[in-house]
Amino acid sequence: MSPVGSGEESGDTAVGPKHHRDAVQQAAARLFSEKGFTATGVREIAGEAGVDPALVIRYFGSKEKLFLRTMTMSVDFADLMAGPLDGLGERAVTFVLGRTRTGGPSGPYGAGGERSYSAGVFAALLRASDRPTVRAHLAETVEEMFVGLVAGRLDGADADLRARLMAAQLTGLMTSMHVVEDPGLAAASDGEITRYYGRSIQLLIDG
């Protein structure tokens, strides 16, 4: 739920040695965000993490719980949304377009041991949203990222609604680019997309 922390959720059922758990989480994050929920098997995750398949379940309870724990929006994105409202539209679009990777320029792994690809995370979540738990997780993410981080700071009427519609616009860009993978959008220049789409989003922010 909360953006990827430092993996210190020690209040949980902390089973297994930490480096094994982290290895599983890391492998899961990469595979899930790259191939999606169904196409990624527990055996595969275990293989990449170098642990036994049975341990994956033992550590996290189920494949689905592991998915929910690992597929979480990047902290960078939250930082962005918490930033100044002025020019936020263009900045958000730029982020969605270019910054697919998170957790440092190209360093190995983040402090928490996980490396998230925002685009992949989003696509995986959307595609697995048949599952009620995943759908709830998605809705919660939207709630925290947008309603929570920007709605309260919007001037004018219908702040809550405008924040949600802004979220919808960003959702649309992410979906078109990373789920539908519209080749026409991929071919377009980032600058032009940012200009047109950023203006639309800013319009909702400014009211």
Partner DNA sequence: GTCTATAGGTCGATAGAC
Partner DNA sequence: GTCTATCGACCTATAGAC
- Mapping DSSP to helix (H, G, I), strand (E, B) and coil, where does residue 101 land? strand
**Are 45 and 37 within 8 A, CB to CB?**
no
Tokens of 72: 């979480």
24 CB-near residues (< 8 Å, 6+ apart): 45, 46, 49, 51, 55, 56, 59, 60, 66
In this structure, what token pair is assigned to residue 34? 């790259």
Instruction: Decide: is 62 part of the binding site for DNA (CB under 7 A).
Output: yes
**Positions in 104-163 near DNA (CB under 7 A):** none
The entry of DNA, a second copy, none near residue 196 (CB within 5 to 8 angstroms by kind) is a second copy
Residues 127-186 that bind a second copy (CB under 8 A): 127-130, 135, 138-139, 142-143, 147, 158, 160-162, 164-165, 167-173, 175-177, 179-185
Q: CA torsion, points 173, 105, 30, 58, in degrees to nearest 10?
A: -120
- Interface ranges with a second copy (CB under 8 A): 35-36, 38-39, 126-130, 135, 138-139, 142-143, 147, 158, 160-162, 164-165, 167-173, 175-177, 179-185, 188, 192-193, 196-197, 199-200, 203-204
- Interface ranges with DNA (CB under 7 A): 15-17, 20, 40-43, 51-55, 57-58, 62-64
